[in-house]
Structure 1
Amino acid sequence: MSDLAAKRGAVPAAKKALFLVFHIGDERYALRATEVAEVLPRLLLKPIAHAPQWVAGIFAHRGAMVPVIDLSALAFGKPAQVRTSTRLVLVNYQPEPWLQARWLGLILEQATDTLRCDLGEFKPYGLDNRAAPYLGPVREDALGLMQWIGVNELLTDEVRALLFSAEQSL
């Protein structure tokens, strides 16, 4: 059998994906790198009056107003610690396929590492956490468990309407 024929009959390798790894407290989380638009240093933000506590504010970036949420405050009610490794990560937020993707800023602690792994290494954790639909499957490695965060599930309809009031369909 030729090498080409052997390659065609081979089982395809599992697809490896790149993730941005960050922390909330001592726990590790991951965002799929394809959802990340840019990683910026933490910036000064304009607060939004009457917004939930975890809405950190807005800032202007390349001609667009970008809302920012503090993921630590969203998940656990405590703002992210101010560290040199705390980043403002711009993600492409598109909760519905017919809506135009928008930038959403996330304040993330220790957002300085990446991980390349098979998508299948993340497994369901067995809890139907409807209050936090953004909490995805978990992956175990030598450092413990890491949870995948679903960007498009981060905001409730009410908060999305507050932050993206000018949303238009394609």
Structure 2
Amino acid sequence: MSERVAKHVVGAKPGNSLFLVFRIKGERYALEAVEVAEVLPRLQLKPIAQAPVWVAGVLAHRGAMVPVIDVSAMTFGEPAAARTSTRLVLVHYRPADEAPGRLLGLILEQATDTLRCNPADFQPYGLDNREAPYLGPVREDAQGLLQRIRVDDLLGAEVRALLFPAADEAPA
């Protein structure tokens, strides 16, 4: 472990978690780092026919096909900007009924910062957003509001069946 990392770990407060911070339309959002498997540059994807426009495609990654969604397009209807800070973030997607989980790719703008804070600092924001259940609680700091994204709530049943068909098939 490098000296810099060791100092960072020693200085971490108990109960704090690391979050990957990114932006959608200039607003800040966060994913808990334990949900992140890998951060990659934006890569070429194979489109998926008949998928919602926010399903960006599929990626061959280490022998596995990984579906990728554009979180900006899903949230606000506009695809993520092609910037050098736009990343393809592979996350551990585990819907409630699926034990092992799968990799899901997320296209995220300005996914270059991290934040260490207590997850309890994120509080409900008072809206019932049934159309976007993945938008979690918010945390206020000097830069404004930061909203958590709940990875396991990103996909509805229909899109989950399209992207992960084996997970929704009943045994014969």
User: TM above 0.5, one fold?
Assistant: yes
Let me know the Cα RMSD of the aligned residues. Answer: 1.4
Instruction: Report the CA distance between 1:97 and its aligned residue.
Output: 4.7
Q: Distance in 1 between matches of 2:49 and 2:81?
A: 22
Flag as ranges the 4+ runs of structure 1 deviating above 4 A. Answer: none
Higher-Rg member (1/2): 1
Residue 145, structure 1, aligned to residue 150, structure 2: no
- Match for residue 77 of structure 2? 77
| 1:57 lines up with 2:51 in the alignment | no
Which letter does structure 2 place at the counterpart of 1:107? I
CA–CA separation in structure 1 for the residues paired with 2:39 and 2:132 = 24
The SS at the match of 1:107 is strand
Q: Is the 8 A contact 2:87 2:111 kept in 1?
A: yes
Per-residue CA deviations over 1:80-110 (Å, capped at 9, x if unaligned) read 0000000000000001254321000000000
Q: Give me the identity figure in percent.
A: 69
What is the rounded CA distance, in whole Å, between the counterparts of 2:110 and 2:39 in structure 1? 12
- Report the equivalent of 2:92: 92
Q: Any idea what SS the aligned residue of 2:167 has?
A: coil
Count of residue pairs brought into register by the alignment? 157
Displacement after TM superposition at 1:32 (Å): 0.4
Pair 1:20 & 2:20 matched: yes
Counterpart residue number, 1:117: 117
Q: Which runs of 5+ in 2 are unaligned?
A: 1-12
How many Å separate the matches in 2 of 1:111 and 1:98? 27
Secondary structure of 1:166's counterpart equals helix
SS of the residue corresponding to residue 167 of structure 1 reads: helix
1:167 corresponds to which residue?
Answer: 167
CA distance in 1 between counterparts of 2:74 and 2:98 reads 26
Instruction: Decide whether the 8 Å contact of 1:125 with 1:137 is kept in 2.
Output: yes
Output the TM-score relative to the length of structure 2. 0.88
- How far residue 14 of structure 1 moved from its aligned partner, in angstroms, is 5.5
- The equivalent residue for 1:6 is none
Structure 1 stretches of 5 or more lacking a match?
A: 1-12
1: distance between equivalents of 2:84 and 2:23?
A: 13
* Structure 2 counterpart SS, 1:159: helix
